[in-house]
C-alpha cells in the first residue's frame, strides 16, 4: 500500500475508478499581516484546525480560499470526506524569498502513527518567470494532513495551488469511487532527443 493512504494511492479492488481529464486546483491564500516573520504556519489539518481559533494560527495570519465563491472552511470540511492525492503543488508570491521557505507535510493517524516530510521548493532551471515555483512531491490530503510553512515572511502573501491527481469519494452506503486526472502541464516536461545519423 502507498504512503499511509489506503483509499486513494493504490488501485484497490473495492474502489471504482473514473477518469476526469485535467484537475482544477484547490487554492489557498496565506497572508502574514504583521511586520514580523511567523514560524510554523498551519495549513489544512481539518481534524485539528477547523474549529480552532484562526485555524490554529496567530491572529496576524489570514488564510482564505483563492477560488471565488468557495471558503477555506469548506475546503477543510471537504478534505474530511473526500481525501485526495496531490500530484503537483504550485506556489506563487510577489516576495521571491517566501518561495524559498520549506514546507512540512505532516500526517497523523488515530493510532498514533505519524509521518513528517520536509519539502523545499526549487525553481525549475527552465523557468522564465519569477514569483512562482512548483513542488512535484506527491502527498495525500485528508483531515489528518497538515502543510506547515516553516517561515511566513513579514507583510507577505503566498498562494498554494494543490492539483489533485486522485480524489476519493467515500460513501459507505454506495461504495467508494476514485476520480483520476492528467498532469496539469503547468511546467514544461523535460525531453531528451537523440538524433540518429
Express each pLDDT in 87-96 by its tens digit.
889 999 999 9
Residue 124, pLDDT above cutoff 60: yes
Is the pLDDT assigned to residue 144 strictly greater than 60? yes
pLDDT, tens digit (0-9, with 9 covering 90-100), for 50-64 = 999 999 999 999 999
pLDDT-derived band at 42, boundaries 50, 70, 90 = very high
CA dihedral (94, 96, 100, 104) in degrees, to 10, reads 0
DSSP 182: E
pLDDT-based confidence at 125, cuts 50/70/90? low
Q: Residue 24: pLDDT band by 50, 70, 90 thresholds?
A: confident
Domain residue limits, the chain: 15-181
Please answer whether residues 81 and 143 qualify as being in contact, where contact means their C-beta atoms are separated by less than 8 angstroms: no
Q: Which set of grid coordinates corresponds to residue 113?
A: 502513527
Least confident of 48-52, 64-68, 141-145, 178-182: 178-182
Average pLDDT over residues 103-120: 88
Position 127 scores a pLDDT of 67
User: Structure pTM?
Assistant: 0.79
State the DSSP H helix or E strand holding residue 18, giving kind and residue range, or none if neither: strand 15-22
Amino acid at each position: 500500500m502507498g504512503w499511509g493512504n489506503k483509499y486513494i494511492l493504490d488501485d484497490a479492488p473495492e474502489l471504482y475508478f473514473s477518469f476526469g481529464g485535467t484537475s482544477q486546483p484547490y487554492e489557498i491564500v496565506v497572508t502574514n499581516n504583521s511586520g514580523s516573520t511567523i514560524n510554523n504556519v498551519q495549513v489544512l489539518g481539518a481534524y485539528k484546525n477547523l474549529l480552532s481559533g484562526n485555524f490554529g494560527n496567530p491572529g496576524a495570519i489570514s488564510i482564505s480560499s483563492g477560488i471565488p465563491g468557495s471558503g477555506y472552511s469548506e475546503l477543510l470540511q471537504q478534505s474530511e470526506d473526500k481525501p485526495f492525492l496531490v500530484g503537483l503543488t504550485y506556489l506563487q508570491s510577489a516576495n521571491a524569498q517566501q518561495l524559498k521557505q520549506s514546507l512540512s507535510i505532516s500526517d497523523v493517524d488515530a493510532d498514533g502513527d505519524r509521518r513528517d516530510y520536509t519539502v523545499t521548493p526549487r525553481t525549475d532551471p527552465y523557468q522564465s518567470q519569477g514569483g512562482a515555483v512548483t513542488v512535484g512531491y506527491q502527498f495525500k490530503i485528508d483531515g489528518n494532513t497538515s502543510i506547515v510553512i516553516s517561515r511566513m515572511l513579514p507583510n507577505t502573501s503566498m498562494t498554494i495551488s494543490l492539483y489533485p491527481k486522485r480524489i476519493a469519494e467515500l460513501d459507505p452506503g454506495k461504495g467508494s469511487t476514485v476520480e483520476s486526472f492528467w498532469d496539469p502541464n503547468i511546467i514544461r516536461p523535460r525531453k531528451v532527443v537523440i538524433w540518429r545519423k
